Amino acid sequence: MGTTETTGVERRWSRRKEARPAEIVAAALECFAERGFAGTTLDTVAARAGVTKGTLYLYFPNKEELFKAVVRESLLPHLEGVLGELSAVPDDPAERIRRLFGFFADRMLDSPLSVIPKLIVAEAGNFPEIARFYLAEVVSRGRGFLAGAIRQGIERGQFRPIDPEQAAYVLLSPMLLAVLWQRSLGPFDDRPFDGKALIRTHLDVFFRGIALEPQPPDREPRPS
Amino acid sequence: MGTTETTGVERRWSRRKEARPAEIVAAALECFAERGFAGTTLDTVAARAGVTKGTLYLYFPNKEELFKAVVRESLLPHLEGVLGELSAVPDDPAERIRRLFGFFADRMLDSPLSVIPKLIVAEAGNFPEIARFYLAEVVSRGRGFLAGAIRQGIERGQFRPIDPEQAAYVLLSPMLLAVLWQRSLGPFDDRPFDGKALIRTHLDVFFRGIALEPQPPDREPRPS
Amino acid sequence: MGTTETTGVERRWSRRKEARPAEIVAAALECFAERGFAGTTLDTVAARAGVTKGTLYLYFPNKEELFKAVVRESLLPHLEGVLGELSAVPDDPAERIRRLFGFFADRMLDSPLSVIPKLIVAEAGNFPEIARFYLAEVVSRGRGFLAGAIRQGIERGQFRPIDPEQAAYVLLSPMLLAVLWQRSLGPFDDRPFDGKALIRTHLDVFFRGIALEPQPPDREPRPS
Amino acid sequence: MGTTETTGVERRWSRRKEARPAEIVAAALECFAERGFAGTTLDTVAARAGVTKGTLYLYFPNKEELFKAVVRESLLPHLEGVLGELSAVPDDPAERIRRLFGFFADRMLDSPLSVIPKLIVAEAGNFPEIARFYLAEVVSRGRGFLAGAIRQGIERGQFRPIDPEQAAYVLLSPMLLAVLWQRSLGPFDDRPFDGKALIRTHLDVFFRGIALEPQPPDREPRPS
DNA sequence: CATGAATGAGATTTCATTCAT
DNA sequence: TATGAATGAAATCTCATTCAT
């Protein structure tokens, strides 16, 4: 099924113009995620991509542009996915929020993409362009989606009145923690970390916390 | 005019000599926080500390040890402070949690120390020793403090039963977000970000979310 | 539809194939002249010749041989021309010199060939073979031709006795200046430069300068 | 007399901040003159200057700036010299011209500086800034000096009327030839080349060529 | 103690050359 | 014959580290 016949012989030399950029980007994403921009050498990237250093320069003019391409091109195809996912979402605000978190827990948390927030946090100061890109394409959209859902819930009398923007940050923060934890301190901690469970607990607490009515609906109001 | 005449009078010159390491650590903290470990040159650190490169090696054997010293020595004196603060804390679990957040909002959020989480997130993979140190000295303590308070609240019947560890992470996450935001994406966003307000909203939602009883105690039970 | 049908009709496609080496040499001449040997990349040459880098290696074994071929093949066809031109030349020495300069002014000064002296000057040290080739084929012949004419003129009593070799250099030098000026400093100077006028002035001054008799023959001897 | 005691021991490491830039510039001048800008490696320059590559970057930000500095700084101190020399020059135009050529023959022809014209010719296209600098500081001045002297001679009735600008180029050209010959084709030629003799012959021919009166003044006007 | 010129290992980048297609 | 992706050696450039002063 491959483009070239899979012989047992390792070829030192092959032409795969189509596949190369994506392979390089994938390799670079891992490297940058592990050691950061400045800490990554192009030797490492090239080795991981299975090419030589010179080949990198066939596709990217320099290390900086490679880095930007990595962030952009890793993100872009997934943004489509998320947007599609969320547009086909029910009308109920709480349900929409649950849907986003479900998507995050199922499709982001364990994917190679989950390294990107760490990269952004670490390199935003050195790459303003990337910072702004991520802000616009990811953070603003997520924030907008969540704040919109909360606002709607408040208008419909489902949530008590709180600042939707603040609530959006509150909602986002455990996702950030989950994703950063996995890629930084998590591996050094002896306690297991369950991101999905964290998300569940968080949503449970959050929805109770913004509910209009006394929460447990199965509980009888106390007779006076 | 001896160089080390120990009179009662503090001389600016000799004080400087003793202050050097601390000055270097402070300068290095800023540099590392801005550009990461690999992205920081010792020239920059030296310039910001107002000394020359060679001087750094008088106090630190190499760049890596300087980095470790920076994290450790920036953190250590404050750990004392926090622990003292929290030990003299009321018995009520909710109040203890509020006290920690108050301390964080008042004393950490705007201090130079707030860059450390970003540093840790970015460099944990490259500095396991530092990762473990931070995990033990900061994360574990914070997590333990919060989980303990929640567990106590549950036992006392103030909070509904939830996993205290998970709840601790939920509690921690907006602090992390606040502190990272300020040092990475925040400066590129055009919307203002109010960390303290975020913390308030968060605590408000959280406490309602884990409350045992139907929340608004000021609300009259509905007459049957 | 065969690829190599040899009809009497010249096909553009097959003509092209035969023209390739010459096209490459022409393109390379411009490139080398503009940036020198080391400063020229084969990418540039290939692009200007309208082929790809690999194609260059079909015709020339490496960059160095391409360079040598460029100098030799650019020069060779013209040497024939000059020699033919000058062999059919009158017997009068002054006239023969004028004829050479006329040829230079009319046919060399504005041709692409005029870049070669600059190339030779710049690269002689790096390409002894080329230096010797140019010395033998161009410089020696020119010098010989001029020195011979001057010697003849002296013998015939038309010129005053001077060292014919030295005079040959004196004669050559404004041609060199003209040709180098056009290709190096000329383009940066705001004053216009007229090579042909320079040559005229030069010849005028030179012939008066080597004349045996008091020059203006049209001038009446002063009456006592 | 040196700043450091001359021990027999070769020191691998020495501090000579004052001398370094000049040493590097001198070494680089030779290298660039021999192989051109692109053909010169910084390894070679460093080796010839007796330092390591890194040291070059202590004094020059990159190869290009080193090149510019080489041309500028090699020239500048000598420009002073020439101007001083020529300002203290007699009033007679012919004498002033002779003085310039004398200076050139005695002080430039065999100095390391004589490589600069070759460098300029070769690299003008790649370094417009340098081209303009040389044009303004050297060529324009020389041209102006010579054209001025010639104009003065014409006005005074010493020279016959010719275009002073053209004549200036005619005057300059054998100097250019002499200096380029030495550094490019000369070494490959088996005939000896005597630059000073060339200059003498040239001046002799030139002055006769622009003389107003029939040259040999000792010759009696023919009686009618 | 402090300096900062110098180093040299290692990073990024370039480009002549090769070779599967 | 022609291509152009890929190579790899060698170039430029950076910077942590050393050490004479």
Asked whether the beta carbons of B37 and B115 are under 8 A apart, the reply is no
Of B28, B61, B94, at which residue does a domain stop?
B61
Say what the pTM is: 0.87
Residues A27, A67 share a domain = no
Domain shared by D84 and D164, yes or no:
yes
Answer whether residue D218 is part of any domain: no
Nucleic strand F under 7 Å from the C-beta of D39? no
Give the closest nucleotide to D51 (alpha carbon vs C1'): E6
Residue B140 has, within 13 A of its CA and on its CB side, a CA count of: 11
Looking at the structure of chain A, the number of domains it has is 2
pLDDT tens sequence across A116-171: 999 999 999 999 999 999 999 999 999 999 999 999 999 999 999 999 999 999 99
Last residue in a domain, options B61, B76, B96: B61
Domain hosting B79: range is: 63-210
Q: Which residues 15-34 of D interface with strand F at a CB distance below 7 A?
A: 15
* Contact status, residue B122 vs residue B36, Cβ threshold 8 Å: yes
The nucleotide minimizing the C1' distance to residue A64's CA is: E12
- For tokens 């088996």, name the residue: D190
Q: Considering all nucleic acid strands, name the nucleotide whose C1' atom is nearest to the C-alpha of residue C37.
A: E16
Same domain, residue pair D149 and D134: yes
Chains C and A touch (3+ CB pairs under 8 A): no
> What residues form DSSP beta bridges with A159?
A211
Residue D214 pLDDT more than 60? no
- As a three-state string, the secondary structure of A102-139 is HHHHHHHCCCHHHHHHHHHHHHCCCCHHHHHHHHHHHH
- For residues D98-118, give the mean pLDDT: 92
Same-domain check for residues B46 and B146: no
Residues D123, D35 share a domain: no
Mean pLDDT confidence for D8-22? 69
Per-residue H/E/C for A38-92: HHCCHHHHHHHHCCCHHHHHHHCCCHHHHHHHHHHHHHHHHHHHHHHHHHCCCCC
**How many residue pairs from chains C and D have C-beta atoms closer than 8 A?**
190
Judge whether residue B219 has pLDDT over 80. Answer: no
Tokens (6 digits) for D171: 């005057």
pLDDT for the residue numbered B160: 95
**A30 and A127 inside one domain:** no
Contact: chain C with chain D (3+ CB pairs below 8 Å) = yes
**Please, what is the end-to-end C-alpha distance for chain C in angstroms?**
92
**pLDDT of amino acid B11:** 43
Encoded tokens for A176: 């950030």
Summarize the confidence of residues A110-115 as an average pLDDT.
91
- Flag whether D147 is in a domain: yes
Other C-beta atoms within 10 Å of C2: how many?
5
CB D20 within 8 A of CB D55: yes
| The predicted structure's pLDDT at residue A1 | 38
Average pLDDT, chain C: 87
A218: left (phi over 0), alpha (psi -120 to 50) or beta: alpha
Q: C182-221, pLDDT tens digit by residue?
A: 999 999 999 999 999 999 999 999 999 999 865 444 544 4
Supply the pLDDT for residue D80.
80
Show residues of chain B in contact with A214, CB under 8 Å.
213-216, 219
Which residues are paired to A10 by β-bridges?
Answer: none
Kindly state the average pLDDT of the residues D180-199.
Answer: 95
Q: How deeply is D92 buried, as exposed, middle or buried, from its count of CB atoms within 10 A (0-12, 13-18, 19+)?
A: middle
Out of A135, A201, A202, the one facing B188 most closely (by C-beta) is A135
Residue B120 and residue B99 in contact, taking contact as beta carbons nearer than 8 Å: no
Report DSSP state, residue D61.
S
**CB pair distance less than 8 Å for D223 and C222:** no
Mean pLDDT computed over B75-82: 82
| Cβ neighbours of residue D207 closer than 8 Å, sequence gap 6 or more | C209, D94
At D130-170, the pLDDT tens digits run: 999 999 999 999 999 999 999 999 999 999 999 999 999 99
Alpha-carbon separation of residue B170 from A192, B117, B166, B167 (angstroms): 16, 17, 6, 5
- Look up residue A73 and give its two tokens: 């091109």
The predicted structure's pLDDT at residue B82: 80
pLDDT per position as a tens digit, D27-48: 999 999 999 999 999 999 999 9
Query: Is D211 in a helix, a strand, or coil?
Result: strand
- Which subunits sit against A, judged by 3+ Cβ pairs under 8 A? B
Residue B7 above 60 pLDDT? Answer: no
The DSSP annotation for B155-212 comes to HTTSB----HHHHHHHHHHHHHHHHHHHHTTGGG-SS---HHHHHHHHHHHHHHHHBS
Residue C126 lies in a domain: yes
A:49-108 Cβ neighbours of strand F under 7 Å? 51-55, 57-58
At B55, which CATH number? Answer: 1.10.10.60
pLDDT beyond 90 at D208: yes
Q: In this structure, is residue C9 part of a structural domain?
A: no
Q: Do C201 and C106 lie in a common domain?
A: yes
Q: In terms of domains, do A79 and A32 share one?
A: no
Number of other CB atoms surrounding residue B193 within 10 Å: 16
What are the residues whose beta carbons fall under 8 Å from the beta carbon of C70, sequence distance 6 or more?
A: C25, C28, C29, C32
Predicted local distance difference test score (pLDDT) of residue B16: 55
Above 50 in pLDDT, residue B3?
no
In a domain, D2, yes or no: no
Considering only B39-53, B86-100, D50-64, which range has the smallest mean pLDDT? B86-100
**Do D120 and D195 fall within a single domain?**
yes
**A209 CA, F6 C1': separation in Å?**
59
Supply the angle between the helices B116-123 and B12-39 in degrees, to the nearest 10: 40
pLDDT at D13: 66
Query: What CATH code is carried by the domain that includes residue B69?
Result: 1.10.357.10
Structure tokens at A74: 């890793």
Q: What is the pLDDT of residue C78?
A: 83
Q: Is the pLDDT of residue B60 over 90?
A: yes
**A166/A97 same-domain check:** yes
For residue A14, pLDDT beyond 90:
no
Q: Region C138-150: what's the mean pLDDT?
A: 93
How much is the pLDDT for D198? 96
How confident is the model over A32-58, as a mean pLDDT? 96
B81, B110, B202, C135, D117 from B104: Cα distances, Å:
12, 9, 13, 84, 70
* Position C72 pLDDT exceeds 80: yes
> C190 and C86, same structural domain?
yes
State the smallest CA–CA distance between residue C175 and chain D in angstroms. Answer: 9
What span, in angstroms and rounded, lies between the C-alpha atoms of A79 and A76? 5
Nearest CA-CA partner of C193 in C174, C216, C209, C168: C174
Q: How far apart are CA D30 and CA D35, in angstroms?
A: 9
**Token output for C48:** 């200007």
Question: How many Å does it take to go from CA D169 to C1' E11?
Answer: 50
- Flag the least confident range among A5-19, C186-200, D81-95: A5-19
Between chain A and chain B, the number of residue pairs with CB atoms below 8 A apart is 188
Confidence class of residue A10 from pLDDT cuts 50, 70 and 90?
low
Question: What length is written for chain A?
Answer: 224
Q: To the nearest whole percent, how much of chain D has pLDDT over 90?
A: 74
Is the model's pLDDT at B215 over the cut of 70?
Answer: no
What's chain D's length in residues? 224
Shared domain check, B86 and B46: no
**Is B94 domain-assigned?**
yes
Tens of pLDDT, residues A115-128 = 999 999 999 999 99
Quick one: pLDDT at residue A80? 80
Please state the length of chain B.
Answer: 224
Q: Has residue B12 got a pLDDT over 80?
A: no
A37, A126 in Cβ contact below 8 A? Answer: yes
What is the per-residue pLDDT across C3-41, written as a single tens digit (0 to 9) for each? Answer: 444 444 444 444 456 677 899 999 999 999 999 999 999
Q: What is the pLDDT confidence band of residue B88, given thresholds at 50, 70 and 90? A: confident
Cα angle B82-B88-B92, degrees, rounded to a multiple of 5: 105
Tokens 């009497």, residue located = C8
Decide which of D8, D30, D61 is a domain's last residue: D61
Question: What is residue B13's predicted lDDT score, i.e. its pLDDT?
Answer: 46
Of C71, C171, C84, C88, whose CA–CA distance to C122 is shortest?
Answer: C71
- Domain membership of residue D7 (yes or no) is no
Alpha-carbon distance of B126 to A20, in angstroms, equals 28
Examine residue B169 and state whether it is found in any structural domain, yes or no: yes
Average pLDDT, chain A: 88
In this complex, which of B120, B131, B198 lies closest to A169 when CB atoms are compared?
A: B198
Hits for CB < 7 Å against strand F across B residues 49-108: 53-54, 57, 62-64
